[in-house]
């Protein structure tokens, strides 16, 4: 097999080429533009028929230099950028930065802000998960669930927009709390929205979870062992589906999670179906948490929702590491300050980046359609990978 000689040529002559190149591997570039990668992730697959021999995720097509930009932005401006790298969990991203800075400043965040943040973070988690619950079946050819998911997302986004003014990039966190207090009657509308989403969740069960074709496509496909999860630092629903029972909300509580009974959804199979189930059950769990938060917010005594800060916030010299359980997994923020208005360095540890590294392990040996199933079940946002 003259692979060296034929290597680059074989890419050109696929299909039409014949003769001596019959034994050359076929290289299939999934992406940078491909429906299954929702974003610009590229995976170079070496195929033997439809079987994947080698898979190499190639990232960086969406690198926007977020970390470098942070170094030239003050702490309020960083929030604007921070909610953009993972556009599906904007609130959680702002939250991590805000918490890191608050820890550096030694700020005590008012109780109302803590509970409101927890509520919004959980709603954001549901929004994020619904997106994947819709997009994942879509990649497998079921075109309907995404519209149900978006209908539900719309209900929640209306609530998020009412409080924050934004539908995707909420920009509602501030150092020391939230931008504004809740509008009157908002908590009731949150309850309504939660109830509406809850009502529709059985449809997902019936349409996808119980579907034999979907199960045939996902069960036993892309099995991720717990050791691999640990070795690659995968986290979030992907890790929990492999039996890694780790959730920062329970194991290292931040915000108000210490006072909440956080249900951690886990599965042990580690296959695509388990990952999907974790996500689906997590939606129900998060809706429950959000409902509890809304009730707690009603019961709280009146008080401020943020801390009055001087116009210019300077974090004292030092460093800190905050991590949060984002919808997609663990997000870490390593903040180094030299006592200026801007951080000296703010390193992001994003969940998607760690999660997709596993692809190189998972894909070889699978078929091309399995690749789609695995890719969809790794739950990543390309912006979150490339930053």
Partner 1 sequence: MTKVPGKGLVEGLGVTLKALTRRSVTQQYPDVEPELPPRSRGVIALLEENCTVCMLCARECPDWCIYIDSHKETLPAPEGGRARVRNVLDRFAIDFSLCMYCGICIEVCPFDALFWTPEFAYAEGDIGDLTHERDRLREWMWTVPEPPALDPGAEPAKEVTAAQKAQQPPPVQQARQAPARPARPSRSAGVAADRPEVDPPAGDSS
Partner 2 sequence: MNQLISTSPLSLPSRAPVAATEATVSTFGHDPWWLILGKVVAVFVFLVLITLFLIWAERRIVARMQQRLGPNRTGPFGLGQGLADGIKLALKEEIIPAMADKPVYFIAPIVATIPAFLAFAVIPVGGVVSIFGHVTALQVTDLPVAVLFILACSSFGVYGIVLGGWASGSTYPLLGALRSAAQVISYEVSLALALVPIFLYAGSLSTSEIVAAQNRFWFVFLVPSFVIYMVSAVGETNRAPFDLPEAEGELVGGFHTEYSSLKFALFFLAEYINMTTVSAVATTLFLGGWHAPFLLSRVPVLNSGWFGLVWFTLKLLTVLFGFIWLRGTLPRLRYDQFMRLGWKLLIPASLVWLLLVAAMRTLVVEDVNLRRNLVPVGIVFVVLLLLVSFWPSSKKPDRDGEGEDGHPEIAVGNRAFPVPVLPGEQTDPTLAPREVTRA
- Position among 21, 25, 77, 264 found at the interface with partner 2 (CB under 8 A): 25
Residues whose CB is less than 8 angstroms from the CB of residue 321 and which lie 6 or more positions away in sequence, other chains included: 100, 332, 333, 334, 335
164 vs 242 by CB, closer to partner 1: 164
Contact flags string 254-293 toward partner 1, x per CB under 8 A: ----------------------------------------
Sign of the CA dihedral with 129 first, then 334, 104, and 75 last? negative
User: Which residue has tokens 């996902």?
Assistant: 218
- Position among 21, 32, 53, 336 found at the interface with partner 2 (CB under 8 A): 53
Sheet holding 26-30, edge to edge: 26-30, 42-48, 51-58
- Position among 34, 51, 54, 179 found at the interface with partner 1 (CB under 8 A): 179
Residue ranges of E strands in 31-95: 42-48, 51-58
Contact flags string 147-166 toward partner 1, x per CB under 8 A: -x--x--x---x--xxxxxx
305 vs 371 by CB, closer to partner 2: 371
Residue 228 interacting with partner 1 (CB under 8 A): no
Residue 144 interacting with partner 1 (CB under 8 A): yes
Angstrom distance (rounded) from CA 77 to CA 99: 15
Residue 220 interacting with partner 2 (CB under 8 A): yes
Residue 117 interacting with partner 1 (CB under 8 A): no
Residues whose CB is less than 8 angstroms from the CB of residue 385 and which lie 6 or more positions away in sequence, other chains included: 41, 59, 62, 350, 352, 353, 356
- Position among 11, 44, 62, 77 found at the interface with partner 1 (CB under 8 A): 77
Q: What is the dihedral of CA 80, 85, 88, 94, to 10 degrees?
A: -40
- Position among 100, 140, 182, 244 found at the interface with partner 2 (CB under 8 A): 140
Residue 27 interacting with partner 2 (CB under 8 A): yes
Options 1-9, 73-81, 155-163, 277-285: segment touching partner 2 (CB under 8 A): 1-9
Sign of the CA dihedral with 115 first, then 116, 121, and 126 last? positive
For 308, 314, 325, 352, 356, the CA distances from 235, given in Å and listed in that order, are 35, 32, 9, 9, 11
| Contact criterion met (CB below 8 Å) for 110 and 305 | yes
- Position among 11, 46, 157, 211 found at the interface with partner 1 (CB under 8 A): 211
What are the structure tokens assigned to 37, written together? Answer: 């990668």
Residue 158 interacting with partner 2 (CB under 8 A): no
Residue 48 interacting with partner 2 (CB under 8 A): yes
How many C-beta atoms lie closer than 10 Å to residue 56's C-beta?
12
Footprint of partner 1 (CB under 8 A): 73-74, 76-77, 79-81, 84, 112, 144, 148, 151, 154, 158, 161-166, 169, 171, 179-187, 203, 206-208, 210-215, 297-298, 300-306, 308-309, 311
């Amino acid at each position: 097999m003259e692979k060296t000689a034929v290597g680059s040529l074989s890419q050109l002559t696929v299909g039409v080429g014949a003769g001596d190149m019959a034994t050359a591997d076929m290289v299939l570039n999934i992406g940078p533009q491909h429906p299954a990668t929702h974003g610009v992730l590229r995976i170079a697959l070496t195929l033997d028929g439809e079987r994947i021999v080698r898979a190499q995720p190639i990232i960086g097509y969406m690198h926007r230099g977020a970390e470098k930009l942070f170094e030239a932005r003050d702490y309020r401006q960083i929030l604007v950028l921070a909610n953009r790298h993972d556009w599906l969990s904007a609130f959680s991203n702002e939250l991590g930065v805000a918490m890191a800075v608050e820890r550096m400043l030694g700020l005590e965040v008012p109780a109302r802000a803590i509970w409101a943040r927890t509520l919004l973070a959980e709603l954001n988690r549901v929004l994020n998960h619904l997106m994947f619950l819709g997009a994942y079946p879509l990649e497998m050819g079921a075109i309907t669930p995404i519209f149900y998911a978006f209908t539900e997302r719309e209900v929640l986004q209306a609530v998020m927009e009412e409080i924050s003014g934004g539908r995707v990039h909420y920009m509602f966190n501030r150092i020391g709390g939230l931008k504004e207090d809740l509008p009157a009657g908002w908590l009731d509308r949150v309850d309504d929205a939660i109830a509406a989403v809850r009502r529709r969740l059985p449809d997902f069960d019936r349409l996808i979870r119980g579907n034999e074709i979907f199960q045939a496509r996902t069960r036993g496909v892309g099995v991720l062992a717990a050791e691999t999860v640990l070795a690659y630092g995968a986290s979030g629903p992907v890790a929990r589906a492999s039996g890694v029972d780790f959730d920062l909300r329970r194991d290292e509580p931040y915000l108000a999670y210490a006072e909440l009974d956080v249900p951690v959804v886990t599965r042990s199979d580690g296959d695509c179906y388990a990952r999907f189930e974790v996500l689906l059950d997590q939606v129900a769990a998060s809706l429950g948490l959000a409902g509890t938060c809304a009730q707690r917010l009603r019961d709280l005594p009146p008080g401020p929702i943020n801390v009055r800060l001087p116009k210019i916030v300077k974090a004292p010299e030092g460093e800190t590491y905050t991590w949060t359980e984002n919808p997609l997994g663990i997000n870490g923020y390593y903040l180094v300050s030299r006592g200026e208005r801007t951080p000296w360095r703010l390193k992001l540890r994003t969940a998607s980046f760690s999660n997709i590294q596993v692809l190189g392990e998972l894909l070889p040996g699978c078929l091309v359609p399995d690749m789609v199933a695995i890719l969809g079940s790794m739950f990543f946002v390309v912006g979150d990978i490339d930053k």
